Amino acid sequence: MFKHGQLENLPRELDKCMLCGKCMLVCPRGVNTRAVVQNMRILLGSTSYERRVSHAVGK
């Protein structure tokens, strides 16, 4: 859980999500959590997955 303004660990926590969609199935509000995580990763642009991919392709 994050408090307002606490973002230092956010990229690491987002990297833990495997985008399986299971949390979306049990969300009482029907939030598309998969899309939320994907968009947050794009906005931060600093996920370890993106760093690994960019390193592998030589960017």
24 neighbors 58 (Cβ within 8 angstroms): no
Dist. CA 33–CA 50, nearest whole Å: 19
Alpha helices for the chain (secondary structure H): 10-15, 22-26, 33-44, 48-56
Dist. CA 48–CA 6, nearest whole Å: 19
Q: Work out whether the CA dihedral 29, 47, 19, 8 comes out positive or negative.
A: negative
- Asked whether residue 48 carries a pLDDT value surpassing 80, the answer given is no
Q: Quick one: average pLDDT of 16-27?
A: 92
Percentage of the chain beyond pLDDT 70 is: 73
Q: Which of 11-15, 45-49, 54-58 has the highest mean pLDDT?
A: 11-15
Predicted pLDDT at 36:
92
Give the pLDDT band of residue 27 (cuts 50, 70, 90): very high
